Amino acid sequence: MDAIILQILNGLDKGSAYALIALGLTLIFGTLGVVNFAHGALFMIGAFCAVTLSRILTLSHTIIDETQKDFLGNPLKVEVPYVHDMFGQATGDAIIDWAVPLSVLFAIPIMILVGVVMERGLIKHFYKRPHADQILVTFGLAIVLQEVIKYFYGANPIPTPAPAAFKGSLDFGAMLGFDPNLIIYPYWRIIYFGFAAVIIGGVFAFLQFTTFGMVVRAGMADRETVGLLGINIDKRFTIMFGIAAAVAGLAGVMYTPINSPNYHMGMDFLVLSFVVVVVGGMGSLPGAVLAGFLLGVLESFASMREVIDIIPGINQIIIYLVAIIILLTRPRGLMGRKGVMED
């Protein structure tokens, strides 16, 4: 029982990342009809927003300490962050420590801008082209973006820790009456799950309860009619692209303490997120979220030693296996609508 609860918890945070990326993918597909293979790269750029902000916060000037020597025996150059000069050492360190949560604010305008530039600069020229062309151009863009990041940040993972206050893990087992240490869960992952829930709820509320959201939903259902009513739907769709980019970017920012970001982290998530979208049903926002969590939890279960002992290698194929079964039994995915991607 304890093992099952543990794997459900584990699946939830992985599912949160899948759900957030898949949500953005579905938003873009539902509004603009574009299959965006560069969406994983947006997740990665979000993560590097966190890296960038922590680098900005640790920007330093050098002072030479004659009392200490460096590895070549020369006087040691000590880096002193500017935030120490501005706010004092204690406050400066606290600001640096909180770089990841602060990056959320930093990333939102950057990601919206990246999204809008991507849509206006490249993707809009491919609206009327076949899906295969869209996939090729966005995949190419993803490769370009990850190479640019690699050029500036290197190939190795860059540690971007969570604030010290969130280190360690919560003993869920003890709370539920199990023995201590049986079901533990890191604090930051709990926060990630909560953050994902808030973002997902926010996007749904935005689409459901605002006039802007209503127009976008109308446009998704019948673009032409909305256009005939004199509403500039293209502009709104561009903004939606920006929002989708921000959702993926924020998922990336908050993910950095879980796994140190590197330039190909977007690709690692991209393929799985597409499977999530297909399983959830192309164009269905609730489907994307549901499938994200479902596949995250299933993947966790398949990584259990007891399961691998019975079916070796199941941990690597479970998601694709489930995708095949669902597509065979429900070709439109779990919550897919009729007529989407069926022409």
Partner 1 sequence: MSKLDVSRRGLLRTGAVAGAGLALPTIFTAQSAHAFTNEPTGGTVTLGFNVPQTGPYADEGADELRAYELAVEHLNGGGDGGMMNTFSSKALQGNGILGKKVQYVTGDTQTKSDAARASAKSMIEKDGAIMITGGSSSGVAVAVQALCQEAGVIFMAGLTHSNDTTGKDKRANGFRHFFNSYMSGAALAPVLANAYGKDRKAYHLTADYNWGYTTEEAVKSSTEAMGWDTVAAVKTPLTQTDFSSYIAPVLQSGADTLVLNHYGGNMVNSLTNAVQFGLRDKQVNGKDFQIVVPLYSRLMAKGAGANVKGIFGSTNWHWTLQDEGSKAFVRSFGTKYGFPPSQAAHTTYVQTLLYADAVERAGSFAPCAVAEALEDYEFDGLGNGKTLYRGADHQCFKDVLVVKGKENPTSEFDLLEIVEVTPVEQVTYAPDHPQFSGGALGTCNNGA
Q: Residue from 116, 136, 190, 258 that binds partner 1 (CB under 8 A)?
A: 258
Of residues 119 and 299, the one with the C-beta less far from partner 1? 299
Of residues 95 and 308, the one with the C-beta less far from partner 1? 308
Quick note: the x/- pattern for partner 1 over 65-94, rule CB under 8 A, is ---x-xxx---x------------------
What single-letter DSSP state applies at residue 304?
S
Count CA within 13 A, CB hemisphere, residue 332.
12
Are 169 and 68 in contact by the 8 Å Cβ rule? The answer is no
Q: Residue from 75, 88, 159, 201 that binds partner 1 (CB under 8 A)?
A: 159
Residue 309's CB: how many other CB atoms inside 10 A? 8
Judge residue 289's burial from the number of C-beta atoms within 10 Å of its C-beta, 0-12 exposed, 13-18 middle, 19 or more buried. buried
Q: Which two tokens stand for residue 131?
A: 């899906």
Whose CA is closest to 295, among 265, 267, 268, 326? 326
Quick note: the x/- pattern for partner 1 over 113-152, rule CB under 8 A, is -------------------------------------x--
Determine the size of the site formed for partner 1 (CB under 8 A).
48
Positions in 310-339 near partner 1 (CB under 8 A): 315-316
Are 43 and 248 in contact by the 8 Å Cβ rule? The answer is yes
Q: Is residue 189 involved in binding partner 1 (CB under 8 A)?
A: yes
Residue 132 to residue 186: CA distance in whole angstroms: 41
Q: Residue from 39, 84, 236, 264 that binds partner 1 (CB under 8 A)?
A: 264
Q: Is residue 304 involved in binding partner 1 (CB under 8 A)?
A: yes
Are 289 and 23 in contact by the 8 Å Cβ rule? The answer is yes
Residues making contact with partner 1 (CB under 8 A): 2-3, 6-7, 9-11, 13-14, 68, 70-72, 76, 150, 154-159, 161, 167-169, 181-182, 184-186, 188-189, 257-260, 262, 264-265, 268, 299-300, 303-305, 308, 315-316
